[in-house]
Structure 1
Amino acid sequence: MATRRRATLLLSALLVPLGVITLIAMVLLWPSGDRTSLSVANPYATAEGVSFDRGTVLAVREGDCPSSRPTVDAGGTAQICTIADTQPALGGDLVPVEVTPELARTDAVEAGDEIRYLNLANVLQGGAAPYVFVDFVRSVPIVALAVGYAVVVVAVARWRGLRAMIGLVGALVILAQFVLPGLVEGKPPLLLGLVGSVVIMYGVLYFAHGVSARTSTALLGTVFGLGVTAALAAWTTDAAHLTGMGDENAYTLVNASDELSISSIILCGLIISGLGVLNDVTITQSSSVWELHELAPNTSGRRLFASAMRIGRDHIASTVYTIAFAYAGAALPVLILVSLYDRALLDTLTSGELAEEVARTLVGSIGLVLAIPLTTAIAVLVVKAVGPRTAGGGSGDGPAGSGTTPAVLAAGAGTLPPGGRLVGLGERSARRAAEQDA
């Protein structure tokens, strides 16, 4: 405990000033909340007499489209479409809700589904379809999934899992109240993303993992990774001309405000997108160094770093393709569509549709990979600087700094032999027993 206290004081000398500077920057960048310059049409806004209603589908059938009634009245032939006979949630007679052709081809609407539909009955007299399908009501399955997730996390991770979920809620609040409004008001995206990310990491790491030297070490590595990611994101956004114009939502935002820049949104998104994975690898790497040190406190710093980096390399190998697969899964419809085009692979990967995802994967991966050795080095420096001293006056590196380790440690501990592999007393006892049997 004394060692941990000294390590905490040493790290506080770096993290406290950084935290103060971050909070000052956050206050200076805090958005005013004025959105008068922003004009976005609400797709769910309705005219007078029109409403979005909810109801339960009782039956799905094929029939004459209500929207083709004007054609029938003019002597034409009615089109056939899918109709969901729906019981309104507020009561009343069944209403024939016309399902869009795209959705009808998937057979997604079934009896028992709760849906939202556009009610035009009060404004249409013998014209188009008075009831049109809008969306499903997903409240029950989503809430059930969220509750199941919370139960599983708390059951396995106990109080730490609960703190992590509360920290996640706090991170979402920072995004909603600071980052997003700041982007709308035209704040500097690089500073906005970096300051917001650092504040989130301070809160999430300390709240979920507690205030300790391990957490502080991981936080330093995370901040370094964020700095690398931010620098790469700024360069990539400009050099690769990531304009975001391949997305229809980008066109909506561009037309909504003169102060809103899609490139700024992409830059900020590149910084924030790697937060979760970066936090994961740094806290794991920091914990690995501290556990190895506690099991073999007299191991040299160089050997301790090499042992921890073997763990880090495995983590790098697994996490890099984790990021790639996560982005590929999110962009699967775009990947399928682009794969159908008759284009060269390089042209496809650098096209406007995929360039942002490719850049996001590469930028996040570089920041992640570089954060691991730095976090490991910081952790080793801290544990060796505050760790127990040997009688010879070294820093736990053995006699005369030779890097040798004692043959016997405290009960339950182990040594790091020249090969760098941790050998516990249980394994040595089993080896001696096998030799006696032979």
Structure 2
Amino acid sequence: MRRLLALLLAPFVLAVLAGLVLLMPSPGDYARVVEAGRAGQSAQGVPGLGGQTPVDGEVLRAAGEVDCTDPNLPAPAPGEGCVAVTVRLDSGPAPGTRIATLAPSTPGSPRFAVGDPVVLAWSGGDPADPLGYTLVDFQRGPPLLLLGGLFALAVVLLGRWQGLRALVALGVTLGVLAVFVLPALATGASPVPVALIACGLIVGVVLPLTHGASARSATAALGTLASLALIGVLALLFAAASRLTGLGEEASELAGVLGPGLDVRGLLLAGVIIGALGVLDDVTVTQTSAVWELHRADPAARLIDLYGSAMRVGRDHVASAVNTLVLAYAGAALPLLLLFALAGRGLGDLLTAEDVAQEVVRTLVGSIGLVASVPVTTFLAAVVVRAVSSSSPSTRGEPA
């Protein structure tokens, strides 16, 4: 059975390796695209730093509202003004320099206080000229590092060595996204193949790394890959049937920077596939482990009994996981939902609007794949665990 599992996984491994060779851009190509993207952001006025240089600083003084006399700032609404902010530059071309600048004072603008670590955008020119700097954001590194440390500590305390392996696997996942997915998409590779290759690579590395190289991990990988294939097909069909363009706010800005060659709908489909993987591997690993433990408790259980018992566990898992998936997407789109609600649009208009319909398709396609993964993975696990156990009489009841 282990040999059969290896034969079943071999085509996926070869496809992933071939995809990496074909789709991985050279560092030089990616660097040129990044440089062109920075220039395009600066020229088109895309929010953020664009082609400007980020400079760290600290707020020394934040005065009350004053008249907006800076011609580089947008005119305030009636009754609104600007806040005079004095900042000490901690990096950039003139560290230690103090500059005075203006920040808009509107309902949605950030409120600066003494001691706040901030980020400014420097447009070049005289480093001591205050007009060359614009307040753009807060520095969020320290609290995010603290939160990340607490997360890692919690995982290691509960999972011990397996938790440590899970953190390493998380680093591998982030590495795949940063080293392969983003460069490949930026240099014009087709998004759906990139997403499928990335998911195959993540599954092939993360599952054995986290749970060990065993028949159990191989079974979970097969169930995950089969469900991902279903999700990819459904996403392709229903994105086309729903006439989804993928042109949300961020995608529109991205298309303006990278040009008309960007496959925006493909980017939407790639997001559906990669987003679904996070929930899928949770379900497939859990179902496989449930089958293994049920077999350990009753090594003589028939295939149909083992499958039925594990499916009862799977139904509970699916019921809660689908709700989690829906709430996760609803939470991400909450400002958009509120905006439509305040516009007085009906539920039908709300659900069929482009931005919301994207989330509906994403949620339902991911949920269907999630539901399908349970019987598929459970059946595979029940067959494999019995075969592995029967082929290893010395470890019967405790298959790998």
Three-state SS of the structure 1 residue aligned to 2:338 is helix
Which letter does structure 1 place at the counterpart of 2:101?
V
Three-state SS of the structure 2 residue aligned to 1:267 is helix
Residues 299 and 52 of structure 1: CA distance in aligned 2, closer, same or farther (over 3 Å): closer
Deviation string 1:328-349 (CA, Å, 9 cap, x unpaired) is: 2222221221221221101111
Instruction: Give me the TM-score of the superposition, normalised by structure 2.
Output: 0.84
Counterpart contact for 2:81–2:104, Cα < 8 Å: no
Tell me which residue corresponds to 1:117. Answer: 120
Please point out which of 12, 37, 43 is paired with 1:18: 12
CA distance in 1 between counterparts of 2:66 and 2:377 reads: 67
Which letter does structure 1 place at the counterpart of 2:41?
A
CA RMSD of aligned residues (A): 3.1
Please point out which of 364, 367, 375 is paired with 1:365: 367
Please point out which of 200, 203, 213 is paired with 2:202: 200
The answer to whether the aligner puts 1:57 opposite 2:66 as a matched pair is: no
Counterpart contact for 2:314–2:374, Cα < 8 Å: yes
Residues 286 and 79 of structure 1: CA distance in aligned 2, closer, same or farther (over 3 Å): closer
Count of residue correspondences: 375
CA distance in 2 between counterparts of 1:219 and 1:242 reads: 30
Tell me which residue corresponds to 2:89. Answer: 88
Residues 111 and 225 of structure 1: CA distance in aligned 2, closer, same or farther (over 3 Å): same
CA distance in 2 between counterparts of 1:343 and 1:256 reads: 34
Structure 1 range deviating more: 339-348 or 130-139: 130-139
Shift of 1:191: 2.2
Unaligned runs of 5+ in 2: 43-47, 73-78
Deviation string 1:179-214 (CA, Å, 9 cap, x unpaired) is: 233333333333222122111111110111101111
Deviation string 1:217-262 (CA, Å, 9 cap, x unpaired) is: 1111001111101111111221112212231442442452232111
Please point out which of 92, 97, 117 is paired with 2:101: 97
CA distance in 2 between counterparts of 1:183 and 1:348 reads: 31
Residues 173 and 107 of structure 1: CA distance in aligned 2, closer, same or farther (over 3 Å): closer
Tell me which residue corresponds to 1:4. Answer: none
CA distance in 2 between counterparts of 1:120 and 1:207 reads: 46
CA distance in 2 between counterparts of 1:28 and 1:68 reads: 51
Three-state SS of the structure 1 residue aligned to 2:169 is helix
Which letter does structure 2 place at the counterpart of 1:209?
H
Three-state SS of the structure 2 residue aligned to 1:22 is helix
Please point out which of 103, 108, 111 is paired with 1:108: 111
Tell me which residue corresponds to 2:328. Answer: 326
Three-state SS of the structure 1 residue aligned to 2:69 is helix
Tell me which residue corresponds to 2:75. Answer: none
CA distance in 2 between counterparts of 1:137 and 1:258 reads: 34
- Structure with bigger helix share is 2
Counterpart contact for 2:80–2:105, Cα < 8 Å: no
1:284-295 correspondence runs (5 A):
284-295=286-297
1:242-321 correspondence runs (5 A):
242-321=244-323
What percent of counterpart residues are identical? 38
Structure 1 range deviating more: 300-309 or 341-350: 341-350
Three-state SS of the structure 2 residue aligned to 1:297 is coil
Shift of 1:122: 6.0
Instruction: Give me the TM-score of the superposition, normalised by structure 1.
Output: 0.77
Shift of 1:141: 0.9
Unaligned runs of 5+ in 1: 1-6, 71-77, 390-395, 397-409, 414-438
Residues 342 and 300 of structure 1: CA distance in aligned 2, closer, same or farther (over 3 Å): same
Counterpart contact for 2:169–2:210, Cα < 8 Å: yes
Please point out which of 177, 180, 185 is paired with 1:178: 180
Tell me which residue corresponds to 2:389. Answer: 387
Tell me which residue corresponds to 1:41. Answer: 41
Residues 336 and 79 of structure 1: CA distance in aligned 2, closer, same or farther (over 3 Å): closer
